[in-house]
A and B are shown apart, each in its own frame.
Chain A
Amino acid sequence: AIQLTQSPPSLSASVGDRVTITCRASQDISSALAWYRQKPGKTPKLLIYGASSLEGGVPSRFSGSGSGTDFTLTISSLQPEDFATYYCQQFNSYPWTFGQGTKVEIK
């Protein structure tokens, strides 16, 4: 199974900060990667699919990049509702694994 490793596991940031989260795959997954945000006590929400395509209705402060094994999710200006846990998921091959998550906390 393809393993996804997110870094860092957690980070502290302030409103307005630029935040970058990394997801590394154990093998080449082309651009078959999605990113989700999960607020505390809520269901996950799709942000990015195909590594860099913004899901409809998602604010433009979110962007994704990368291909092959290395991917990043960038939040250009952190907002209060962005304090949450972020997950990547690969769709290159079964089983469709998730990363372990990155928790973004208030500094």
Chain B
Amino acid sequence: QMQLVESGGGVVQPGGSLRLSCAASGFTFSKYGMHWVRQAPGKGLEWVAFIRYDGSHKYYADSVEGRFTISRDNSKNTQYLQMSSLRAEDTAVYYCAKDRSYYDFLEALDCWGQGTLVTVSS
């Protein structure tokens, strides 16, 4: 069955950097757009970034634009989120999620990873 496994979370100082990875299995990774969604402690879900199935287009929430970079390696069935200039308000569980429809049609997130916690603190 479909599975997403995130890694790379941890504690980082303000201004620091971190790279998250998300390994996919159980589906044809290269056909689907992929997202990152985060959830601050005790808060709701916040969409963070999206990358097109072929990596040609990327979109970001205003809150992370210019600081975060989404990428993917279809040969490794893995997507990444490079985070830099981290702030306390970036503290959250980061989820990797797959779009339900393949290629260019976005309609829902039908598979989520277990999440990885990023804590930005001195």
Q: Which residues of A contact B (CB under 8 A)?
A: 1, 32, 34, 36, 38, 43-46, 49-50, 55, 85, 87, 89, 91, 94-101
Q: How large is the interface on B (under 10, 10 to 19, 20 to 34, 35 or more residues)?
A: 20 to 34
* B109 sits at the interface (CB 8 A): yes
Smallest CB–CB gap between A96 and chain B, Å? 5
Residue of B nearest to A34 (CB): B108
User: What's the Cα separation between A101 and B109 when bound, in Å?
Assistant: 16
Cβ contacts under 8 Å, A55 to chain B: 100, 108, 110
Is there an interface contact between B112 and A43, defined as CB atoms closer than 8 Å? yes
Besides A34-B108, A44-B109, 19 other A-B contacts (C-beta < 8 A): A34-B107, A36-B109, A44-B45, A46-B110, A49-B107, A49-B108, A50-B108, A55-B108, A55-B110, A89-B47, A89-B109, A91-B107, A94-B50, A95-B60, A98-B37, A98-B44, A98-B46, A98-B47, A101-B45
Cβ contacts under 8 Å, A45 to chain B: 112
Cβ contacts under 8 Å, B44 to chain A: 85, 87, 98-101
User: What's the Cα separation between A57 and B118 when bound, in Å?
Assistant: 32
User: What's the Cα separation between A95 and B106 when bound, in Å?
Assistant: 12
Instruction: Name 15 interchain pairs, CB-CB below 8 A, sorted by A.
Output: A34-B108, A38-B45, A43-B95, A43-B113, A45-B112, A46-B100, A50-B107, A55-B108, A55-B110, A85-B44, A95-B60, A95-B61, A98-B45, A98-B46, A101-B45
Cβ contacts under 8 Å, B45 to chain A: 36, 38, 44, 87, 89, 98, 101
Q: What per-residue 1/0 map shows which CB atoms of B27-50 lie under 8 Å from chain A?
A: 000000001010000001111001
8 tightest A-B CB contacts, nearest first: A49-B108, A34-B108, A43-B112, A101-B44, A98-B45, A46-B110, A91-B106, A96-B47
Is there an interface contact between B115 and A43, defined as CB atoms closer than 8 Å? yes
